[in-house]
Every structure is written in C-alpha cells, then in structure tokens.
Structure 1
Amino acid sequence: MSGPVLIANRGEIAARIARSCRRMGWPSIAVFSDADATALHVGAADRAEPVGAAPPRESYLSIPALIAAAERSGARYVHPGYGFLSENAEFAEACARAGLIFVGPPPSAIRAMGGKAEARRIAEAAGLPCLPGADDALEEAAARIGFPVMVKAVGGGGGRGMRRVGRAEDLQGALDAARREAAIFGDDRLMLEKLVEKARHIEVQILADAHGNVLYLHERDCTLQRRHQKLIEECPAPGMDAALRAELGRRACDLARAVGYVGAGTVEFIAEAPLQADRIWFMEMNTRLQVEHPVTEMVTGLDLVEWQLRIAAGEALPFAQADITLDGHAVEARICAEDPARQFLPSPGRITALRWPEAGPDLRVDAGFGTGDLLTPHYDSLLGKIIAHGATREVALGRLALALDQCAAEGVRINAAFLAAALRSPEMRAAEINTGFLEAARKRLVEASMKEQAA
C-alpha cells in the first residue's frame, strides 16, 4: 500500500530515498533544519517541512518535531535513513503511536541489537562465534583475555567510544576516555573484546519480510577506515569464496530470525586474513540501511530502499535466496569535506564550487551537496558517494579512481584525491589491507595524491 513518505534525515541519503520514492510513484516529503532550508535534499523531494534550529537535538534528533512534521504533511510512512534516529526504538514507537509506519525493524529488534553487550549475548545464543570479551569487571577481564584489547561503548556507534589498549598500564586511561565519549550516547557503559590485529571488516546485507522470509544479499568489505569510520567499501569481499559466503549469510540470517527482524539490516563481522570460517567473528548488527548499500545494489540489481518500503507496506519478498545474483564487482568511495593532510580534520564552510563526475551505466553518483551549499559544524562531513561497477575488481577499482580524479571543490577541502591514491596503492590492488591501513599509510597516500594532482 503506497503513501506519502516523510524522510527523517538530510544530505545524500535523503536525496537518494527521494529518488526511489519518485521512481515508485510514492510522494516524498523532506525535512530541514534552519541551516538546510536550501539544501539539495529539500529540492529532491516533492515537498518539505521545517523541523527546527540547526543543532541536531533541536531538529533531526527531535522526535516531537519530526512527528509533528509527519502529521502536518499527511505522511503515511517515515523513513529514517541512517544515523540520527534510524536506530532509535523510541522513535519507531512514537511513529506507531501517531499512526505512522516506521520503515525499519520493530522496536524490539532495534533494542535487542542496540547495545553491543546484549547483541553479543543474543548472537552467541544463535550460534554465531564471538571474540573473547566482557561487559563487567573489565580490568580483570582484560588480564584474563590478554592484551591487546579493544574498549567499546556499549551504546556507541560510528567509531565513537572505541579505544585500542595494548598494555595493562594504559587500560584505566582508555576506560576513562571511552566512558566520557560514550556519555554522548546517554549510556556510559563499556565493554571490551580481544583485539584482532590487522583485521578486516566484513558485513552481510540481509532482507527480511513480515512473512518469515529472510535472505542475505552477499557481503561487503568495509576495511578501509579512518577513526573506525568507513571510507571505501566493496562488494563482494576480496578472498571470499562461495562456501564461506553461504556460511556467513547463514549466520546473518540466523541472527535476524533470532530477534524477529523485519526490513533491511546488516550483520557485521571482524575477520583475520586469510578468510576462513573459524577466523571470522560477530561484531554487531546495524538495524538500518547502511551508507555503503549502493555497492550491493550494483551487483544484485536490487533497490534496497524500494524493498524497505515494500516490506513496510506488508509485501512478501517475491524472490528466493537462489535468485540473488552477484554480477561483477562494485566499489564505493565516501567523499567528505575533510583534509587528509591534517589528520582528516573536517573542513566546514561555503562550497564555492563542487564538481562531481558524470554518472553512467557503471558509475553512480549519490550527491548530497553542490556548489553554493554551506557546510556547518553541526553535521557529518559526508558530501556524497561515488560508486563504480566493473566485470572484475581490477576494472571497478580503476573506474572509481578515474572518477575520483574528476572531483574538485573550492571553499572546502575534500578527500577525493586521497581516496584515488588509496585505490591505486599496491596494498589495495592486492587486497592486502586492514582496518589500520589508511591511517598508517596516510602520509604516503597524501604525497601520492599531491603528485597525481600536479601531473
């Protein structure tokens, strides 16, 4: 049952959701803070509603403001996008109380997976392997597990509240710092796990309907990160074979069934090379659409936003696991307003010029900003994403690097040239990467990007 969709988000994901709504013939309603009145995502929707002042807690994180906007606009559905309130069970419940359909899993599933410690217990009960860890008596647990360990905020996300600890004498300081950062989420509880050195980050995309069907849409490799936040993602993961893919997919679907999951979601794993079943452990589940979902769309031919909406409308998935294809390879780069030469420091300001590459059959551009837009410190630095497809990984990497060469900005600094250098690096070409690669190789990649720009 179609109906108007309020998009409770901003930037590139709001514009991307509006495109799927328009293709499906579903009216879309954008929301905007005072700082975003002329933003690209506002014009991408059929109409728009104001939700408050620039600070997120007064606009995009204000449940009353968003519900009021939905009621004013006559929306039937609320799509939360990612970030902000996308994994907030209270928001999903508020939508239900207002007679709105939340485009996401039930609040019970959001709560079950929202805390890393509880998610870990549920995953273990569902048969998923987990790293040695603990969420109480952390000093004693660290000594028992052995260093190095990773300290994590139980309710954290986006890499916040995480600290690597290599020695016992550094543990207390790391716990204090992580606890202060965790307080941002309103929950200062911490946990720790055994640290996998030179880890790879692999995640499985799942779709589940309300009729008992749960499918996996292959895996993504999200290893290239800075500050525990992803910058380059690809599908499929290098080194993954069909048998291991099926095993990871089964694990992800088992967890989804264990929490009564409905909608699109992602089960994340930490892996140690070489990839094999006993060297891949459950990390967490994201109960929402991921930033990197386009690489899955490029190789499967499925529109994940469309299926989020159709599932929310009560439709059953019309395809089986055997129908999910894997056509070629796709790679995504996140274009951010930041300066890699200065430790990825954000670069807010007025965009006086911004050039995106031209999209085509094998090149997708999900832009959230353009020339003239103002980037304020209130929000994330993500400007948009460029996604390349190829028959092979080598072709996809090369196509994306060339597309990044075409990106240019004035007024703010962007990371496009740095990401192009990363794609061309021998480590990336050989898939000999780990979650610390970008930060360890940052100076070398910055120098390579500067040489490329000067050539």
Structure 2
Amino acid sequence: MKAAFNKVLIANRGEIAVRIIRAAKELGLQTVAVYSDADARSLAVQMADEAVRIGPAHASKSYLDADAVLHAAELSGAGAVHPGYGFLSENADFAERIEAAGMVYIGPTPEAIRTMGNKAAARAAAMRAGVPTVPGSEGVVNDADSAVAQAEAVGYPIMIKASAGGGGRGIRIARDEAELRQQFATATAEAKAAFGNGEVYLERFIRRARHIEVQILGDGARVVHCFERECSLQRRRQKVWEEAPSAALSETKRAELCASALRLANAVSYRGAGTLEYLFDDDTQEFFFIEMNTRIQVEHPVTEMVTGIDLVKEMICIALGNPLRLRQEDIRLEGAAIEVRINAENAAKGFMPSPGLISQLVVPGGPGVRFDSMLFPGYTVPAYYDSLLGKLIVHDRDRANALARLRRALGELKVEGVHTTIALHQALSGDAQVAAADVHTGFLETWLDANPLAPASPIPVAAPAAVPSAPTPSSEKVTA
C-alpha cells in the first residue's frame, strides 16, 4: 500500500488508544501516543513507537486541550491523527485545525461533523433524505389549544418537553386530550422555573423503545452498512450491554432500517466510520432516527465479530486515500455477538467509581472470546476519567449460545484491586427477560430496583503489585 502518511498520532487514551495502535501497526504504520501525567505508565504509552506528554491529569488540561494535542502531532511529525471516541472526536474545529496543519484527520470531514453532530441539523438532514424521525410538533407550542391540535396529528401518548431541557429533565407525559390540557400549564411553568425558558414542544412517547443503531463506512463517494447493533440496556442513558443482531428486527425491517441509514449517510457524502442511532417502537414496529455519532463507537467490536470486518483498519485505509474496498453484497451477518462494559464501579453503592491499583488480572479465552482493555497487573486506574476498564465481547452461532459463552467468560474474568461491574453482567446474563431479549431502554433501571445487587466485598489491603517503571518509548517527547 502506498501511504499518504506513515505515522499516526492517537488523540486519546485507554482501551481505544490500544485498539487503534494495534490496527495501525498491522498496516505497517508508526504510532504516537499522547498521555497526561496520570497515564505516563499506561499500556498505550508502552505499546506506541513514540509518546508525547500533553499535560496534567485533568482532561481539560490534556486530552481536551486541542492546542496541546495539535502541538504533539506537529512535534512528533505525525502525518495523521485518529481521535478515537470521546474527548475531541466530534469537534469539527479540531478536525479542521488538523487538516489546516497539513495532516490527515482519520474521520469524517469537518462539514459532516458539523451537520450530523448537531441534533437539529441532523434531524433536518434526515427529513430531507426521507428518513423517519420521531413524530412531534414543528417547533415550539405556545398554548394548550395548539398542543391539542398537534397532538391529534402526532398521536397519544405524547411528551411535553421543555425546549431548554436536557438530561431527561423537563418532560411530562399526557395520555389523552384531558391530560394534555391539564399538564400543559404545569409543564410550561416547570420549564420556566427550571431552565429560565418556558417554551415547550411535543414529541410522541414511545412506551417500549429499543435503542438500535446502524454501523456505516464511507469514502466520501460511496457508503456501505455493516448491519445493526442493539444497545437498549442502559443506565442513565449510558450503554451497559450491546449486541448484534437485534432480536427485535425481522429481515424485512432490518433491510428497511439499514437502507435508511445508507440514504442519510450518502446524502452527506460521509467519509470514515459512523453510527446512525434510532429508536425502535416495539408496539408499532416503527423506527425513528435520533442522531448520528461521527466517530468510531465504544461498541464497534460487536459489529466486527458478526461481520469479520476490522472497522478501525478500514477507517485508516480510507484516510490513506483509498476507495472503500467493501461491497455491500460481500458484507454478511454471521452468528450473534454480545459486548458488556466492564467498569471500575461499585454497582451496589450507586455505581460509585472505584479507582485503584490492579493487583490481579485474569483474561478469559477460548473460541469466540475477546477482551479489549488497557489493563495489566500493577496498573493504577486513575480517578480523572471515564470508569471503563475494558469490554468483554463474545461471538457464537446464535444468541442463546453467545449468552452461554458470555456467562462462561464472565466466570473466568478476574479484575482484582478495584470494584467492577462483572457481577452485574453475571446477573443480567442469567436473567430470563434478558435471555428472551424482552428489553427496552427503561428496562435496566427498573430491573436494578427489583434486583438489588449484593454489597461488594471490601477490597483487601495488600502489598501493592510491582509497578513497572515509566516506559521509555523509542522517542519520548514532552510538550510545553
């Protein structure tokens, strides 16, 4: 392969940095890790060909500091930057600065990030492309009579949502006209009190919504899909468990969903990896586009397991200037895969973060088992970042066998020195409703109320494991 660049800087940390380094090395590229003071001994720093310090532990002064990351890229002589997920990965200005500095941004164009990263703009683009969105009022509703008129067109039950709300707040549900009239004045008063803005709008309430997303890859001229993932098991709108394919979709509905994703991605001439997210109504069998993530997803290994496609490698190959090398007819869905997120959290105490020293690590193996992580014995999990330690992914010929494999692998996985969510996933993987795929986006929080987890055992105080000395990459540079 004749590369447009031969060195990639990974503008991220943790397991995704490790993942990108591995993919880049397999393509024969040099790699540069960036690190904060908290990550000086991280696995990504040890694995990369070079490492550049970008600041102190707090993300705002390191991984979110675009100036520091750009300086590191220029200092290292990197020809490209891969943003991973989180941090600066959906920052159009950052992508623009990378390109202005003469480097390749491994992801979509800044214009695509701006369009599809903005929910309102993405919704408008979806409507232009004929992709269904959640039915609702067209803009703000000013009085109860207007609300009733629009609700008749949308259908009940309906949500009254504060225009300035967020995080699940500022929402009331009306099941008929009488309740809508009663709730309207209350909702506007609450919105004014909570957000300083009394404006509200209407949106259909989906009783049993599933969260289903479609993985796509594009080269700016052509787009393919890699089927769907279901991510309905969520806590506080954060995904906990992901799987492919979705047990809720018929082959016909799957084809419709994926075709809609292609229409929208092609409409914006999408380049790189991206995910189009939908709500699926179990009652009506309708799906509605809600947003797009213009980056690689945490749960991308689920798709890799059922398609055999290395999504990170494909992203890099596209960024090298190669046309998309996949044809839609060659992408096949094989078997079933499940990913569970292993976090450093005490689930029995409100999922309290649990940073600390990893004293022991036993990684499960065998056919169809993958563990994406940055852990090693002696690694100290910092308190400054997301609590994700790793992702356990399993694959088998069907969902029932994948669940059995997951239970076996969870039994083998041991992460000692911090509290983890392993026990949560052991309980979920043995639950009858989860086994039947009878879940929705509100399932897990209700399940947790009905199935309180046993208090976690105290972490024993023991002599710390030997901590490796700070790595000495082949070229360690320090930014100012």
Q: Same fold by TM (over 0.5)?
A: yes
**216-225 vs 166-175, which moves further:** 166-175
Higher RCO structure (Cα 8 Å, ≥6 apart):
2
Query: In the alignment, which residue of structure 1 is the partner of 2:107?
Result: 104
**243-252 vs 221-230, which moves further:** 243-252
Matched, 1:92 2:102: no
Query: In the alignment, which residue of structure 1 is the partner of 2:214?
Result: 204
Match runs of 1:394-433 below 5 Å = 394-433=400-439
Q: Is the 8 Å Cα contact of residues 151 and 190 (structure 1) preserved in structure 2?
A: yes
Residues 348-406 of structure 1: CA distance to partner in whole angstroms, max 9, x if unpaired? x2124242423344000001233333333321111110100001101111111221222
Query: Does the C-alpha gap of structure 1 residues 352 and 312 become closer, same or farther in structure 2, counting only changes over 3 Å?
Result: closer
Alpha-carbon distance in 1 for matches of 2:438, 2:126: 29
Query: In the alignment, which residue of structure 2 is the partner of 1:184?
Result: none
Alpha-carbon distance in 2 for matches of 1:215, 1:86: 22
**260-269 vs 376-385, which moves further:** 376-385
Match runs of 1:350-429 below 5 Å = 350-429=356-435
Matched, 1:238 2:247: yes
Alpha-carbon distance in 2 for matches of 1:370, 1:151: 46
Give how far 1:72 is off.
0.9
Query: Does the C-alpha gap of structure 1 residues 170 and 335 become closer, same or farther in structure 2, counting only changes over 3 Å?
Result: farther
Query: Does the C-alpha gap of structure 1 residues 354 and 201 become closer, same or farther in structure 2, counting only changes over 3 Å?
Result: farther
**427-436 vs 354-363, which moves further:** 354-363
Give the letter aligned to residue 18 of structure 1. I
From 54, 57, 65, give the equivalent of 2:57: 54
Query: Does the C-alpha gap of structure 1 residues 95 and 223 become closer, same or farther in structure 2, counting only changes over 3 Å?
Result: same
Q: Is the 8 Å Cα contact of residues 163 and 178 (structure 1) preserved in structure 2?
A: no
| Aligned-partner SS, 1:197 | coil
Q: Is the 8 Å Cα contact of residues 361 and 414 (structure 2) preserved in structure 1?
A: yes
Query: Does the C-alpha gap of structure 1 residues 121 and 327 become closer, same or farther in structure 2, counting only changes over 3 Å?
Result: same
Q: Is the 8 Å Cα contact of residues 332 and 387 (structure 1) preserved in structure 2?
A: yes
Query: Kindly, what percent of the aligned residue pairs are identical?
Result: 45
Q: Is the 8 Å Cα contact of residues 148 and 164 (structure 1) preserved in structure 2?
A: no
Query: In the alignment, which residue of structure 2 is the partner of 1:261?
Result: 270
Please report the RMSD computed on the Cα atoms of aligned residues, expressed in angstroms. Answer: 2.7
Give how far 1:259 is off.
1.4
| Aligned-partner SS, 1:319 | coil
Alpha-carbon distance in 2 for matches of 1:69, 1:39: 17
Alpha-carbon distance in 2 for matches of 1:33, 1:47: 14
| Aligned-partner SS, 1:65 | helix
Query: Does the C-alpha gap of structure 1 residues 252 and 340 become closer, same or farther in structure 2, counting only changes over 3 Å?
Result: same
TM-score (norm 2): 0.84
Query: In the alignment, which residue of structure 1 is the partner of 2:238?
Result: 229
Query: Does the C-alpha gap of structure 1 residues 373 and 139 become closer, same or farther in structure 2, counting only changes over 3 Å?
Result: farther
Q: Is the 8 Å Cα contact of residues 208 and 283 (structure 2) preserved in structure 1?
A: no
Give the letter aligned to residue 81 of structure 1. G
Q: Is the 8 Å Cα contact of residues 347 and 453 (structure 2) preserved in structure 1?
A: no
Give the letter aligned to residue 212 of structure 2. I
Q: Is the 8 Å Cα contact of residues 158 and 202 (structure 2) preserved in structure 1?
A: no
Alpha-carbon distance in 2 for matches of 1:208, 1:38: 36
Matched, 1:436 2:437: no
Query: In the alignment, which residue of structure 2 is the partner of 1:247?
Result: 256
Matched, 1:302 2:309: yes
Q: How many residues align?
A: 435
Residues 52-80 of structure 1: CA distance to partner in whole angstroms, max 9, x if unpaired? 11111211111110111001111111000
Query: Does the C-alpha gap of structure 1 residues 392 and 150 become closer, same or farther in structure 2, counting only changes over 3 Å?
Result: farther
| Aligned-partner SS, 1:122 | helix
| Aligned-partner SS, 1:166 | strand
| Aligned-partner SS, 1:255 | helix
Alpha-carbon distance in 2 for matches of 1:178, 1:310: 46
Alpha-carbon distance in 1 for matches of 2:168, 2:6: 41
Give the letter aligned to residue 339 of structure 2. E
Alpha-carbon distance in 1 for matches of 2:307, 2:337: 10
Give how far 1:111 is off.
0.4
Give the letter aligned to residue 324 of structure 1. I
Q: Is the 8 Å Cα contact of residues 222 and 269 (structure 2) preserved in structure 1?
A: no
Matched, 1:10 2:4: no
Match runs of 1:137-156 below 5 Å = 137=140, 144-145=150-151, 148-149=158-159, 151=161
Greater Cα radius of gyration, structure 1 or 2:
2
Q: Is the 8 Å Cα contact of residues 340 and 425 (structure 2) preserved in structure 1?
A: yes
Alpha-carbon distance in 2 for matches of 1:39, 1:175: 47
From 180, 205, 218, give the equivalent of 1:195: 205
Query: In the alignment, which residue of structure 1 is the partner of 2:122?
Result: 119
Query: Does the C-alpha gap of structure 1 residues 66 and 356 become closer, same or farther in structure 2, counting only changes over 3 Å?
Result: same
Q: Is the 8 Å Cα contact of residues 364 and 413 (structure 2) preserved in structure 1?
A: no
Gaps of 5+ in 1: 181-188
**193-202 vs 420-429, which moves further:** 193-202
Give how far 1:242 is off.
2.3
Query: Does the C-alpha gap of structure 1 residues 95 and 391 become closer, same or farther in structure 2, counting only changes over 3 Å?
Result: same
Give how far 1:232 is off.
0.5
Query: In the alignment, which residue of structure 1 is the partner of 2:329?
Result: 322
